[in-house]
Amino acid sequence: MIEAIVRNTIQAAESVRLLELGPVDGLPLPGFGAGDHIDVTLGPGLTRSYSLVGAPEREPSSYRIAVALDPESRGGSRAVHESVHTGSRLEISEPVGDFRLTESAPHSVLIAGGIGITPILSMARRLTELGASWEVHYAARSRHAAAFLTELSALADSGAGSLRRYFTDEDGPRALKIASLVADTSGETHLYCCGPASMLADFEEATHGIGPERVHLERFRGDLPPAVDGGFTVELARSGKALGIAPGESILDAVLDAGVTVDFSCMEGICGSCRTPVLSGEPDHRDTVLSPEERTAGDTMMICCSGTKGTRLVLDL
């Protein structure tokens, strides 16, 4: 982890706060690529992942993240908006890349909804640096709620790429027709999407049948409810502990309460931080990280949200 200080905070849009984070020791930060994110610790047991905003750099002096205030926040976005200020110190991770840009693509279609614009902006900037062809489709509630609209418009106006905007209060709901957009793309175009669940569902349906190497998406949160029915036992092979999982409790909760240290971040099965090897038992997968093949193999799981289809699991912890 890296100790960082909040150098500046800016209201980037309605209910969107931009933080500039610099290293406390003044040394260059680890480089990052377009679409990368960092984990930010906002308090005890409160770690969230946020995409890095801006053009990728090899040795940046600061990182920028933008956080939208979520009405259903379980503490993460609320903490950023209410408790984090200029001068605050936070622990952050090195950049992580799960939503990667294919820089060699002949053309890239970048689709964003709301705060999903953060990784998309980084991708547009990187493609502009490369002189590559791109188009951005950006949907938001209103112009006031659309973060980084000025930056994106400037990129498009320079001739680097094209930008289409869709505002609910002006164009009506679901003005962005993802199916039509995808149908009009060529066979070598790469497609990217980051936004709310309804947008991602439309994107997945529209891109069904397209080679997975050309389809890229990133989620804000998991699609399935977590497995918290309890009533089963988890054995930790390396720690020699047997944990009874109570109703309302996740495996991760029980593991942490038992004093076993594990990595975790999103708590919703979308980041992959808590991936844990399974030695015995049948997981009930509730994450959005594992591939169908990995789910079938059953030898790994996300313990923050997944459970078991039986009464006993043995984990390599």
**For 135-157, what is each residue's pLDDT tens digit?**
999 999 999 999 999 999 999 99
pTM score, two decimals?
A: 0.77
Q: What is the pLDDT of residue 74?
A: 63
- Burial tier of 71 (Cβ tally within 10 Å: 0-12, 13-18, 19+): exposed
Strand 300-302 versus strand 190-195 pairing type: unpaired
Q: What is the pLDDT of residue 178?
A: 96
Buried b (16+ CB within 10 A) or exposed e, 27-42: eebbebbbbbbbbbbb
Q: What is the pLDDT of residue 219?
A: 77
Residue ranges in the chain assigned as alpha helix (H)? 76-82, 117-130, 149-157, 168-171, 178-183, 197-206, 251-257, 292-297
pLDDT at 47 over 90: no
Residues with Cβ within 8 Å of 158's Cβ and at least 6 positions away in sequence, in order, are 128
Mean per-residue pLDDT, 263-278: 83
pLDDT class of 223 with cuts at 50, 70, 90: low
Specify the length of the chain in residues: 317
pLDDT at 259 over 80: yes
Tens of pLDDT, residues 68-120: 998 766 678 888 998 999 999 999 999 988 788 999 999 999 999 999 999 99
Mean per-residue pLDDT, 31-48: 87
Residue 22 CB neighbour total at 10 angstroms: 16
Mean per-residue pLDDT, 251-270: 86
**Rounded to whole angstroms, how far apart are CA atoms 257 and 261?**
10
Q: Is the dihedral of CA 114, 66, 206, 198 positive or negative?
A: negative
Tens of pLDDT, residues 170-192: 998 889 999 999 999 988 999 99
**Rounded to whole angstroms, how far apart are CA atoms 269 and 295?**
13
**Rounded to whole angstroms, how far apart are CA atoms 317 and 251?**
12
**Rounded to whole angstroms, how far apart are CA atoms 53 and 18?**
9
Helix (H, G, I), strand (E, B) or coil at 82: helix
pLDDT class of 210 with cuts at 50, 70, 90: very high
Most confident range (mean pLDDT) of 49-53, 107-111, 260-264 is: 107-111
- Percentage of the chain beyond pLDDT 90 is 71
Most confident range (mean pLDDT) of 144-158, 222-236, 288-302 is: 144-158
Q: What is the pLDDT of residue 264?
A: 80
CB 307 within 8 A of CB 291: no
Q: What is the pLDDT of residue 198?
A: 87
Residue type, 301: M
**Rounded to whole angstroms, how far apart are CA atoms 165 and 183?**
19
Mean per-residue pLDDT, 294-316: 94
- 296 to each of 33, 156, 223, 301, how far by Cα in Å? 31, 44, 19, 11
Higher model confidence: residue 28 or residue 225?
A: 28
Q: What is the pLDDT of residue 73?
A: 64
Q: What is the pLDDT of residue 213?
A: 92
State CA 224 to chain mean position distance: 16
Element (H, E) at 19: strand 16-23
Mean per-residue pLDDT, 2-7: 96
